[in-house]
Amino acid sequence: MDRAFDSTVGAAADEPPDGMSDAQPIQRAGAGSGGPATGTAQLDRRGEPVRTGRRYLVVANQTLDDPILVETVRHRCEQANVDLHVLVPRPRRILPFCDPMMGVPLDVGIDTAFLEIQDAEEAAERLSTFLCRIAPLGATVTGEVATGDPVAHARRLLAGRAFDEIIVSALANGLARWLRIDLTARLSRAFAVPVVGVARLA
């Protein structure tokens, strides 16, 4: 069974709720103080504003190495102490073990299952690289690979914590462009949280 874990301290966390067991282990990197922004500005000894905490949810997969996405996160880290969670959505492959009309077993099931595992491993590797890249910016960063509807997984995450903004990153061309527009719109309708779309040219 999948478990959530903190790679900084190696402590196991609670299991995800029933129906969400496809979410893979949470990874964590970096240090910093997260939490909601305070309403009163504070000044340090030099008279400069003290950065307040902001919490962001990044939804991305193939574009985790996008310089535009990294720069978007960097800009936010310069404005406040950032707590960042990265949701890497992965579409579920259909496993056709038998012909739905004839009931005859097909040989593509095992191959598809192998591709499922390969997709998950590649997504986890992209996530790990992204977390290591963002951690030096001073943010506290966590992440997870989740199979299925990204809006459903976002709802699970927002049920347990508050986010100040959702950042959606995807390719700018072709089908990915329409998927990004659709996902951005669905997230905007589902949650009372600002949603920003970041596009990368293929």
Dihedral of the CA atoms 70, 74, 80, 86 (nearest 10)?
20
pLDDT at 191 over 90: yes
Candidate from 68-72, 86-90, 134-138, 174-178 with smallest mean pLDDT = 174-178
Residue 53: per-residue pLDDT:
87
Contact (CB, 8 A) for 80 and 51: yes
9 CB-contact burial (10 Å; exposed 0-12 / middle 13-18 / buried 19+): exposed
Contact (CB, 8 A) for 89 and 61: yes
pLDDT at 166 over 60: yes
Rounded alpha-carbon distances, angstroms, from residue 47 to 33, 50, 140:
21, 9, 26
Cβ neighbours of residue 34 closer than 8 Å, sequence gap 6 or more: 53, 54, 55, 81, 82, 83, 140
For the segment(s) 51-200, the CATH number from 1.10.260.30, 3.40.50.620, 3.30.70.120, 2.60.40.10 is 3.40.50.620
pLDDT at 3 over 80: no
The DSSP H or E segment spanning 3 is none
Report the predicted TM-score, pTM, of the whole model to 2 decimal places.
0.69
Spatial separation of the C-alpha atoms in residues 68 and 63, rounded to whole Å: 9
Residue 16: per-residue pLDDT:
44
Taking the alpha carbons at both ends of the chain, their separation in whole angstroms is 36
pLDDT at 175 over 70: no
pLDDT at 200 over 90: no
What average pLDDT is seen over the chain? Answer: 75
How confident is the model over 96-138, as pLDDT tens digits?
Answer: 555 455 554 555 556 667 777 888 899 999 999 999 999 999 9
Nearest residue to 108 via CA among 100, 118, 97: 97
The alpha carbons of the chain give a radius of gyration, in whole angstroms, of 19
Spatial separation of the C-alpha atoms in residues 100 and 23, rounded to whole Å: 28
Rounded to the nearest 5°, which phi and psi values hold at 50?
-80, 130
Please name the amino acid found at residue 173.
N
- Give residue 181's pLDDT band: very low, low, confident or very high (50, 70, 90): confident
Spatial separation of the C-alpha atoms in residues 20 and 88, rounded to whole Å: 14
How confident is the model over 24-37, as pLDDT tens digits?
Answer: 555 556 544 444 33
Average pLDDT over residues 71-94: 89
- In the chain, what are the domain boundaries? 51-200
Nearest residue to 53 via CA among 84, 85, 81: 81
How confident is the model over 26-73, as pLDDT tens digits?
Answer: 555 654 444 433 344 455 566 655 546 899 999 999 899 999 999 999
Residue 5: per-residue pLDDT:
29
Residue 92: per-residue pLDDT:
72
Rounded to the nearest 5°, which phi and psi values hold at 105?
-60, 140
